[in-house]
Structure formats: C-alpha cells, structure tokens
C-alpha cells in the first residue's frame, strides 16, 4: 500500500510541474490562438538562467529564481515582438511553423552554451534527508517545488480573475474586436501573454532543474509532453491545465509503477500520455474543461 | 499547344482542356525531356565518387518524402508534424522482412520493387489511421494528433524486441538483372532507381492535381464548408490526403532502408519530421516544384554549415561542437525568415525567373 502512496506522491509532484508548464502554453493559446511548440525550449532557457545566476553569479538561489523569471519574462516578450507580431492575421499554419523555427533557433542558441551537451545540478540548499511518514517519503526539493508551483498557480488565477490587466487579457481571448473597441491594445496583450508564459516557464524550469538536475533533453521534452496535458484539460482552460497536469502525472507514475516490467512492457509512462491524447482527440476533442467550439468538418 | 511560341504574345487558352495541360508549349515539353535526359546521362559522363552520390541519393529520397508532405500540408492544408514516422513505417516494413526472413533472403534481395510498393501501402495505411481524427477536427488539433503519432511510433520501435530496440537492423544488398549490386555500384544503382521513382511520382502528382481527386484537396484546404456544399466529403478527403502522403513517405522510407542497407530509429525522430516540414516550407508549400527545391536547399545549407563549423573549429579553440549548435540555429532562422519574407518559398523565385526568361527581352 505504501508503494501506492509513494506513486501518488511522485505523481502529484510530476503532475504539478506539468500543470505549471502547461499553464504558460495555455496562456499563449488562450489569448492569441498560437500553439507554441517552442515552450520546452523556453522552460530550458529559464532553468539555465537560474543555474547561471546561482552558480556563476553566486546569487542566493531564491533571488536568482525570481530574477530568472523576470529575465525570461522579457525574453519571451521580445520573442513575441520580433517573430510573432508581424504574423498577426497570417494563416495559423505559418504561425505554428514559426514556433517550430523558433524551437530550432533556441535549440541552436542553447547548444552554443555548455548547457546543450553537459549535465549540471543545482547546489543543494534544502535538507537532504527526505521527510518520511507512514512508510512514504518525499524529498524537500519535491515538497518545496510543489508548494511553489501551487502558489504560482494560485497567483496566476488571482491575476486573471481580479487584476485589470488579467481581465483585459481574458477580454481579448473572448472577443478581439470588442476589446479593441474599448481601448485594449490587442498586440500588447499578446506580448503580455507570451511574457507571462515565459515567466511561468522559467518557474517550471527552475523547479524541474532542482528536482531532476539540468539536462537539456529532459527539459525540452516538457515542451512536447504539455500537449497531452493541454488537450486533456481542453486547450484554453487554465483550470483544465492544472487538473489535467496532475491527472497526467498520476497516470504516468502509475503506468511506470505497475505496467513496466510486466507483460514485456517498458517505458509505458512515456507513451501513455500520447495514446490518451489520440483517444481524447477522437472522442472528446474539447477535453475536460475546454469550450465546445470545435466545428465538425 | 499554342502554334508558335516565338510569334504569339502569350498562351491564350480556348478551352478548359487546353488550360489543364501539363505542358503549355512544345518547348516546355522538350526542355523537360532534355533535362530528364541530362539527369539520366550525367553520372555516366562524369566521374562521381560514392560519397557525392550518397549525398545526392539522400536529397532525392527526401524529395519523395517532401512531395508527400506537400500534398498533405501544402495542398490539403493539414499540418503534419509526424512525417518522419510515416517514412519510418516504410523503412521498418523492409526491416521487419529482414528480421523475419534474414537480411539476405530472396524476397528482400530480389523482390525489392514489390517491397518498396508494399512499404508505400503500409505507409498509406498508417497515414490513414493517423489521419482519422480529421473526421472531427481541424488543422490545429490535427497537428497535435500527428505529433502524438510520431511519439507513439518512436516509443513502439524503441521498446520492441522485434525491432531490436531501435538499433540498426541490416538489410542485404539487392540483385538486378546483371547480378548482385556490389559496393562500387551501390549508390549509382540506387540513384537510377530513385530517379525513376521521382519521375513517376512527379508525373503522378502533377496529373493527380488536375483531376477531381487532386482538386478536392485544394478545395478542402481553402474552405471546407464550401467543399462540403459542393458534394465533397471533407473528412474523407483529409484522411485520403494523409494516406497519399503516407504512401509517398513509405516509399521514401523503403528506399532509405535499401540505400543505407540498414534501418535505425535515429533517422525517423521528431527532429526529422521538423526537417521535412522545413524543406516543404523553404521549397514552397502548395507547389510541386517546391518539393524538389526544398530538400536541395536544406541539405546544401546543412553541408555548408557543417563545412563552416569545421573550418571555424579548426581556427578557434571552442569547447563545444559548433556543428550541433549552428545546424539547428541556421535551420530555424531559415524557416522563420522564409515564413516572414517569402512565404511562397523558393518555388516563387523559380516562377519569377521562369517568367523573366520567357518574356525576355520584354518586361511583361
């Protein structure tokens, strides 16, 4: 039974990181209908900036975590300004392609740094001994990671519910024309959505980096695995991203905990999300919380 | 065909049948035939090393795959981020024969033309399966569906004992009427095979696009509701587009397997899918000639970047391997720049050059 609870805990940990990664993705999709395929690279960039500030600039890790969130905020904002601003109104296919090109560019830039090929890990700053109760253990980094994640998600939800900027962002995602008519600058909101996505991506990157260590392949894989999460949650729902993130984390952990090694199966945790994705696309394409706006063709 | 190109001021079509012709003038046709003759003759006239031939073969295989991708993405307007998986399906069809029968079995070495076609049909089958969500979904979601097909494909190969966990499965040398194709002729032999297939594919697709079945792809891309009202079934059309793309990808994959004399998962990853997409974009989405320009441009760019990074690597003391960094960087830049400044791709430049030559010495 404790094995079960151990899986639940690691599922929630992984799932909350998925939720945070998916959050940024959903933000961009919700406001500008762009599928950001380069999200994993932004997560990786955030993680590497955090590491650089902590280890090379010798800043305290809390400060560098916040600083990297701010830096990635501006990085993502400039990405939107340089590459995507001029594509507003272009067919959706070119916009997706641009994010694919962006993914390659960021890949190339990261490979120019040592982070592309080597592995790094953050200096430990929390107690190393895991907390154990009832035969289940959770490490301090995981615990702090989950707490930070949920604080951030709560912060984002508050931002969208209450703040003026958040409300204007929601307005743009509902109706661009109407929001323009009441004086909201739609391109600015797009930029802001990218910036917020960058911010949440940097946070996700920092947390992943602390839990699993810094490896470029692991980090940018999060950009692909958010797809099953956001589809399950319904592409444009923040609540959906959070719930689906946790569900996906649990499914992955249970799959690799119970299925691997039996019946000749291996690595099921990696593939199950995509199988679920295909099934959802076939039968319930708007996901759990998405708006029923998909037209039949 | 118009009476005399040198006297007439343009092509004036007097019937739809005339407009649908592949060659507007006799000259057009003769130029193409001469070009094909050159393509067939040049390896016999010049000394080509195996290494150069290998590069050319590679580019040509990519052309076949990109023609398929262009059908689904350019003509039918459905983004496919899983094209390398379909190429992989073709290659692994050959590989599974090699695993079942042994890599030098008669079927594999003598029956390769049939196997290449079979690989195409396997690709078509899986293409249709991956395209099934098209019955309900529009392009955005379809892109994600193809992406997940790619991931499932990679996982399946990586964890199946039958496919040796994605390690290279060797495929034997083939036989031709003159006997076993040896080491020195291998790349030349496959050059001719691929060339014949490209010519067939090129004419096939060109002809397809002037039939009902080709035009319905474009109709569904431009407006699927209008296409529905005109009596086409958009869902079926999309699945059929995926099947066509899968067929060409499967053929390309089988050729890849025979050319490399082995199949390994590292040639069919997500990275390669993106590569094919880039080729289609740079060449020009929705044009047939673009499918030939794109692979050429991207592969040449790749080689130049490799040469550049070797050169700088020799002159500068850098710790990291520059090629791994510069390749994706240049590649991403080229996609983005083409999308921003020349969304119609190299095919558009080709069109401009052609019309310039045609009208010379007049401006228009």
Q: What is the pLDDT of residues B42-56, one digit of tens each?
A: 888 888 888 888 999
pLDDT at position A253 is 86
Q: Which of A4, A20, A25 is nearest to A205 (CA)?
A: A20
Cβ distance of A35 and B77 shorter than 8 Å: no
pLDDT in tens, A21-51: 888 888 888 888 888 888 889 998 888 888 8
Cβ distance of A105 and B281 shorter than 8 Å: no
Q: What is the dihedral of CA A74, A77, A78, A82, to 10 degrees?
A: 180
Nearest chain B residue (CA) to A79: B336
pLDDT level of residue B256 (50, 70, 90 thresholds): very high
For residue B319, pLDDT beyond 70: no
pLDDT level of residue B317 (50, 70, 90 thresholds): low
pLDDT level of residue B64 (50, 70, 90 thresholds): very high
Mean pLDDT of A148-156: 87
Q: Supply the pTM of this predicted model.
A: 0.88
pLDDT at position B318 is 59
CB B40 within 8 A of CB B195: yes
pLDDT in tens, A223-270: 888 888 888 888 777 888 888 898 988 988 888 877 777 776 677 778
Domain residues for the domain of B297 are 49-359
Touching check for A82 and chain B: CB below 8 Å? no
Measure CB to CB from residue A98 to each of B138, B285, B336 and give the nearest one. Answer: B336
Residue B41 lies in a domain: no
Provide the CATH number for the domain around residue B53: 1.10.3470
Nearest chain A residue (CA) to B274: A100
Residue B261 lies in a domain: yes
Nearest chain B residue (CA) to A270: B155
Mean pLDDT of B199-210: 91
Residue B207 lies in a domain: yes
pLDDT level of residue A296 (50, 70, 90 thresholds): very low
Chains A, B: CB pairs < 8 Å: 157
Contacts of A86 in chain B (CB under 8 A): 340
Residue B338 lies in a domain: yes
Residue B256 lies in a domain: yes
For residue A148, pLDDT beyond 70: yes
State how far the alpha carbon of B245 is from the alpha carbons of A158, B66, B124, B202, B205, in Å. Answer: 47, 9, 7, 13, 11
Measure CB to CB from residue B138 to each of A103, A271, A297 and give the nearest one. Answer: A297
Residue B23 lies in a domain: no
In eight-state DSSP terms, residue A137 is E
CA A228 to CA A249: how far, in whole Å?
11
For residue B2, pLDDT beyond 60: no
In chain B, % of residues over pLDDT 90 = 28
* Least reliable range by pLDDT among B4-18, B230-244, B261-275: B4-18
For residue B316, pLDDT beyond 70: no
Nearest chain B residue (CA) to A227: B144
- DSSP-assigned beta bridge partners for residue B169: B263
State how far the alpha carbon of B223 is from the alpha carbons of A143, B74, B216, B229, B317, in Å. Answer: 51, 14, 10, 10, 55
Cβ distance of A112 and B138 shorter than 8 Å: no
Measure CB to CB from residue A104 to each of B159, B328, B343 and give the nearest one. Answer: B328
Cβ distance of B325 and A111 shorter than 8 Å: yes
Task: State the number of CA atoms in the 13 A half-sphere of A220 facing the CB.
Answer: 22
Highest mean pLDDT among A85-89, A104-108, A292-296, B55-59: B55-59
Contacts of A281 in chain B (CB under 8 A): 133, 136-137, 141, 144-145, 148
Residue B17 lies in a domain: no
- Picking from B144, B217, B284 by the largest number of A CB atoms within 10 A of its own CB, the best residue to mutate is B144
Contacts of B155 in chain A (CB under 8 A): 267, 270-271, 274
Look at residue B103 and give its three-state secondary structure. coil
Residue B211 lies in a domain: yes
CB B242 within 8 A of CB B123: no
For residue A122, pLDDT beyond 50: yes
Q: Decide which of A213 and B317 is more confident.
A: A213
Sign of CA dihedral B82, B84, B85, B87: positive
User: What is the count of structural domains for chain B?
Assistant: 1
Within 10 Å of residue B314's Cβ, how many Cβ atoms? 8
Separation in Å, CA of B232 to nearest CA in chain A:
11
């Amino acid at each position: 039974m404790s094995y079960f609870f151990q899986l639940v805990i690691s599922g929630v940990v992984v799932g909350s990181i998925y939720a945070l990664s998916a959050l940024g993705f959903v933000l961009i999709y919700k406001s500008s209908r762009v599928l950001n395929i380069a999200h994993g690279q932004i997560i990786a960039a955030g993680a590497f900036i955090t590491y650089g500030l902590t280890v090379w600039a010798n800043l305290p890790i809390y400060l560098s975590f916040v600083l990297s969130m701010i830096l990635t905020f501006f990085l993502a904002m400039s990405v939107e300004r340089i590459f995507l601003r001029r594509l507003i109104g272009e067919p959706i296919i070119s916009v997706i392609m641009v994010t694919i090109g962006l993914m390659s560019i960021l890949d190339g830039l990261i490979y120019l740094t040592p982070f592309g090929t080597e592995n790094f890990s953050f200096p430990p700053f929390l107690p190393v001994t895991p907390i154990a109760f009832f035969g289940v253990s959770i490490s301090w980094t995981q615990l702090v990671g989950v707490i930070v994640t949920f604080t951030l998600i709560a912060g984002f939800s508050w931002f969208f519910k209450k703040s003026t900027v958040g409300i204007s962002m929601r307005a743009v995602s509902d109706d661009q024309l109407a929001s323009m008519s009441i004086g909201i600058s739609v391109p600015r909101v797009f930029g802001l959505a990218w910036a917020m996505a960058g911010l949440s991506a940097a946070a996700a990157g920092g947390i992943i980096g602390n839990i699993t260590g810094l490896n470029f392949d692991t980090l940018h894989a999060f950009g692909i695995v958010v797809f099953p999460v956001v589809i399950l949650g319904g592409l444009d729902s923040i609540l959906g991203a959070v719930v689906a993130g946790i569900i996906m984390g649990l499914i992955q952990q249970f799959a690799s905990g119970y299925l691997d090694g039996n019946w000749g199966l291996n690595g099921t945790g990696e593939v199950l999300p995509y199988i679920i994705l295909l099934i959802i696309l076939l039968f319930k394409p708007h996901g759990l919380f998405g708006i029923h706006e998909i037209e039949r063709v | 065909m118009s009476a005399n190109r040198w006297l007439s001021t343009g092509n004036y079509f007097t019937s739809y049948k005339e407009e649908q012709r592949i060659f507007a003038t006799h000259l057009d046709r003769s130029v193409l035939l001469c070009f094909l003759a050159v393509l067939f003759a040049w390896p016999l006239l010049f000394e080509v090393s195996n290494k150069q031939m290998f590069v050319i073969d590679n580019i040509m295989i990519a052309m076949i795959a990109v023609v398929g991708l262009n059908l689904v993405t350019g003509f039918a307007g459905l983004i496919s981020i899983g094209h390398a998986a379909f190429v992989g399906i073709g290659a692994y069809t050959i590989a599974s024969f090699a695993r079942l029968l042994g890599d030098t079995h008669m079927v594999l070495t003598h029956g390769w033309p049939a196997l290449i076609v079979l690989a195409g049909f396997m690709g078509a089958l899986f293409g249709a399966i991956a395209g099934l969500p098209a019955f309900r979904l529009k392009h955005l979601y379809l892109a994600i569906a193809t992406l997940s097909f790619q991931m499932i494909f990679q996982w399946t190969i990586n964890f199946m004992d039958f496919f040796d966990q994605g390690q290279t499965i060797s495929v034997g040398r083939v036989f031709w009427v003159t006997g076993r194709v040896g080491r020195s002729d291998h790349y030349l032999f496959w050059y001719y095979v691929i060339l014949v297939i490209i010519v067939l594919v090129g004419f096939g697709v060109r002809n397809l696009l002037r039939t009902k079945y080709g035009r319905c792809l474009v109709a569904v891309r431009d407006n699927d509701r209008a296409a529905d009202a005109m009596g086409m079934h958009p869902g079926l059309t999309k699945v059929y587009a995926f099947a066509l793309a899968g067929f060409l990808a499967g053929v390309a994959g089988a050729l890849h397997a025979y050319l490399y004399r082995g199949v390994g998962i590292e040639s069919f990853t997500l990275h390669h899918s993106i590569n094919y997409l880039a080729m289609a974009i740079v060449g020009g989405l929705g044009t047939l000639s673009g499918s030939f320009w794109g692979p050429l441009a991207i592969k040449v760019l790749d080689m130049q970047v490799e040469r550049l990074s070797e050169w700088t690597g020799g002159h500068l003391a850098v710790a990291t391997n520059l090629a791994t960094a510069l390749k994706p960087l240049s590649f991403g830049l080229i996609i983005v720049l083409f999308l921003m400044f020349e969304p119609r791709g190299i095919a558009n430049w080709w069109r401009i050059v052609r019309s310039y030559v045609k009208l010379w010495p007049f401006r228009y």
